[in-house]
Amino acid sequence: MAGFPKLKICGVRDGAFARRAEELGVDYLGFIFAEKSPRYVAPDAAAAIAATLGRAKLVGVFTTSTIDEILEIARKIPLDVVQLHSREYGADEISRLKAAGLEVWQLGAKEGAVNVADFVNPREGAVAPDAVLLDGWAGALCGGTGRRADWEFASELALAGVRVVLAGGLSSANIGGAAATGCAVLDVNSSLEESPGVKSLALLEDLFHEIGSLGVREKLSKNPILQTSKTPSSESND
């Protein structure tokens, strides 16, 4: 998928689906280890699926697990990336994960709670994640809701040099526009399901067919966000 953002498919629970996604060219496959999620997969089951895979990088999604629990699961699978789908993890926790050789993605704050400068110029001494995840919010819930994230904010972050993982309501119908935001990774989940937690091979094929049919120039020309957004160099410092 040259010229296209990296693609992650999350909520994987089925080995045949995971293997087909890898054959089609997915970059990341995500396992959700939040027990309250309908897409939860037990670590032993995830490890069994992982053992049948080769090229795709593996992401573990965590919400309330301790760092010791995360590290144990990361070794078992093994994981390449830890996605902290919570703002409760701080610099010390991120440091421990990075020291173990793991890439760390962390959920960004709810839209309107932060601005671009908070991401581009973090506090002195702060340990930043390797990427910021932007997801769709439904009240106090974030992730797995099918709600879109704030694409304009995602574009602003990407243009400012922040590595952004864009999730929330991505599907074959809008994947081209999502790609044009400039985000580094697109994270697709519920749109590939027949029911919560049950992925569809047919919907997976549709997604990759749509990606294959899109030209990069077409995606960029049709995205109004990038046409109107300012580059970082043209913005005021006020």
Question: What's the pLDDT at 188?
Answer: 96
DSSP symbol at 16: H
> Is the pTM above the cut of 0.75?
yes
- Percentage of the chain with pLDDT > 90? 65
Q: How far is CA 204 from CA 80, 185, 190, 209, in A?
A: 23, 17, 11, 9
The mean pLDDT value for 14-27 works out to: 97
Question: DSSP letters of 72-84?
Answer: HHHHHTT-SEEEE
Q: Is the CATH code 3.20.20.70 the one for domain 6-230? A: yes
The mean pLDDT value for 202-218 works out to: 81
